[in-house]
Amino acid sequence: MHHHDEPEPDADDALPEGLLEAIRAVTEGELPSAELAAALAAIEAAGAVALLEAYRDVHAATSLLAGPASECAVTLADVERATSARRPLRRLWGLRSVRVAAALLVVAGVAAAVWPHDVVPTVALAFAEETARVSPEAAAAERSAALLAEYQPVRDGEPQWIDDPARARDVAAVTGRRVLLFAQHPQCPWCQELRGKTFHDAGVQARLERFVPLMVDVTRIPEGEAVAYLAKGWPYFAALDAAGDELAALPGPASSTQEFTGRLDRTLGKVAPDAAGEREWGPVRASAQRLRAAAALAEGDDLAGAERELRELVAADGDGAFGAAARTRLAELGNEALAVVRDAERKASTDVSGALALLEAAVRRFAGTSWGRDLDAVRSAVEEHGRFPRLVFPVSGDDGHAGDRK
């Protein structure tokens, strides 16, 4: 900008409406590029370039005077001396321009550290963005929750065979057990005896409780798979891990129930996981029911109830698959709340009312939750100050959002 011949205005010259705010915003670097260009053009059109430069000098000088003060103890002469000591002032408006700029700072209340500043509110959040890690066990818990909410391997004296290999593997992953595969043909005499007699023996049923029982009807699978089972011996039993890999085979008919029970015992001795790894069926059912209850509450927009169920599930099954699934869902809910905060932050730069509307809707949705308190704090700050607050996230290990963020 060329302004070397700009005349010094009279003392009584009135500043155009909004000019002071434009000078302040340009000086403090608050404007995006498009608005900055428009503000500079308006300042030049008003013949106030020298005032802008004097304002910058005074702003820079007063910013060096640290320490908040409830009342200003600095005189305009102090400002002039501090400015002069920093660098020679431009001659366009002379000393009176500095006095005008300093006075404008006082009147506008924007001199950093000396006069009350345009304070940016701060809100300390209790949560930060989390990585919603879905472990294989947590995914298995999600997929099998509906089945496991009511499942037990033996009910009313009848084995409860699962007929889907994928579902059986999920149950094995969640319960820390092995799958007992029984490949059978509906018309096979040995298979009929097993189903009608052997599987009703109390000793056999007690051992079935240690497994995830899976029955495959060879008439309902591809012919190649059926032939493979027949080639291994008939009837065919095998112990599988949660990945579906065969750990031990028990082919051929047993001469008696006692012999079959002995086979199961030997198999368990070889392939059963540590006792600590096996989860009791009762607690597994309770955890599955709680995860399903949390999902139903969330679908009904009762996020407070959903959070309560999930946190209780984490407490009850902290190192289990359902506890892992609950932690993932809690992270997803927290990230949803934080996404609203960030959307409102972006919107507040051009539409404070729109940002408030977003936050108010989120406060209602998350009412009664731990995230709802943070959302309401952000909403209150925007409503009170008319601008978006500086967010302070909790210090955490690896979320990447710890500390201040403007």
Mean pLDDT computed over 233-254: 90
Q: List the beta strands (DSSP E) in 69-145.
A: 122-124
Q: What is the mean pLDDT of residues 249-273?
A: 88
pTM as predicted: 0.67
DSSP 235: S
Contacts of 267-271 spanning 24+ positions with Cβ under 8 A: 267/239, 268/207, 268/210, 270/239, 271/178, 271/239, 271/241, 271/247
E strands of 23-153, at which residues? 122-124
User: What is the SS3 assignment for 109?
Assistant: coil
Helix/strand number for the chain, H first, E second: 16, 9
**Confidence tier at 88 by pLDDT (50, 70, 90):** very low
Q: Quick check: 29 pLDDT over 80?
A: no
Q: Name the most confidently modeled range: 35-49, 104-118, 127-141, 288-302.
A: 288-302
Higher pLDDT, 242 or 73: 242
pLDDT value for 54: 75
Tens-place pLDDT, residues 272-327: 776 557 899 999 999 999 999 999 999 999 999 999 999 999 999 988 999 999 99
pLDDT of residue 401: 40
Least confident window among 1-5, 136-140, 360-364: 1-5
pLDDT bracket for residue 208 (50, 70, 90): very high
Q: Where are the domains of the chain?
A: 19-118, 177-273
- The better pLDDT of the pair 273, 197 is held by 197
DSSP 124: E
CATH architecture of 177-273: 3-Layer(aba) Sandwich (3.40)
pLDDT digits (tens, 9 = 90+) for 136-185: 999 999 999 999 999 999 999 999 999 999 999 999 999 999 999 999 98
**Dihedral sign, CA of 350, 399, 391, 61?**
negative
Per-residue pLDDT averaged across 55-70, rounded? 55
Map residue 207 onto helix, strand or coil.
helix
- And the tokens for 231? 């080639």
Between residues 342 and 62, the one the model is more confident about: 342
